[in-house]
Amino acid sequence: MKRNQKEGVSLKETEKSNYDQVIENWRLKFLEMDQEKLTRKFHLEADEEALYIVYFSRKLRIDRKSGVITDQGVHPGFDTVMNIYNTFYYASEHPVASGNLVAFRQVKRVYPFEAAYRRTIISKLQTIFSGKTQELKMACEALGGTPLPQGDVGYMLPVFPFLNIAVLFWDGDEEFDAQANMLFDSEITEFMHEENVVCVAADAVYYLTLAAGLPGEKIYAE
């Protein structure tokens, strides 16, 4: 790997430092938020020390005093942390899920990100689970999924208890490669910034790979 000769820092290290700084900035923003209002708005479990939110069936802890997010004592990845902070920050005053699941391109304001979404996330989902439909079914069920009639594997997955997406998968054969798709609540951008919709999709792949007993696929950042 090439290194910055002047500073002796690798590109990967620089990227990690940048991600860390973004998380630090948002940690500080969280500390300025009205935590009691967040608790009421998102129906969170809370105690004197922390708020708790369920994300892809994992109970995450947000420390009241430090703003640090942990998953059973471990710091989750960049996408997960940013999705939590950004949901708290960007959600409309009274967000309500429609229950109507639509294709990515039909979600409000996400069109500029569709090419990257298909290139980086859908392609990964297709490649990773090609020939592994049973592993994908097991993973969807482990994440609290509800079976859908579409695809060789089709499940509705809770992102949060109040917001769902769907994962659809058709396995490949000698003539066709595996195909995958995701559907999103049509009002998902009432809960988060449009860029975070891509991060939610990335996290879906990450948590599905973990639940399937495969190496966790972190698409954007560790």
Q: Which two tokens stand for residue 130?
A: 């090609």
- What residue segments make up the domains of the chain, in order of their start? 3-90, 101-211
Q: Which two tokens stand for residue 182?
A: 């995701």
pLDDT (tens digit, 0 to 9) for every residue of the chain, 222 residues total?
A: 344 444 555 555 666 688 899 999 999 999 999 999 999 999 999 999 999 999 999 999 999 999 999 999 999 999 999 999 999 999 999 999 999 999 999 999 999 999 999 999 999 999 999 999 999 999 999 999 999 999 999 999 999 999 999 999 999 988 899 999 999 999 999 999 999 999 999 999 999 999 999 998 888 644
Give the domain 101-211 fold. Answer: TATA-Binding Protein (3.30.310)
Q: Which two tokens stand for residue 160?
A: 């949060």
Query: Which run of H or E residues covers position 81?
Result: helix 78-90
Q: Is 114 within 8 Å of 198 (Cβ atoms)?
A: no
C-alpha–C-alpha distance, residues 58 and 71, integer Å: 7
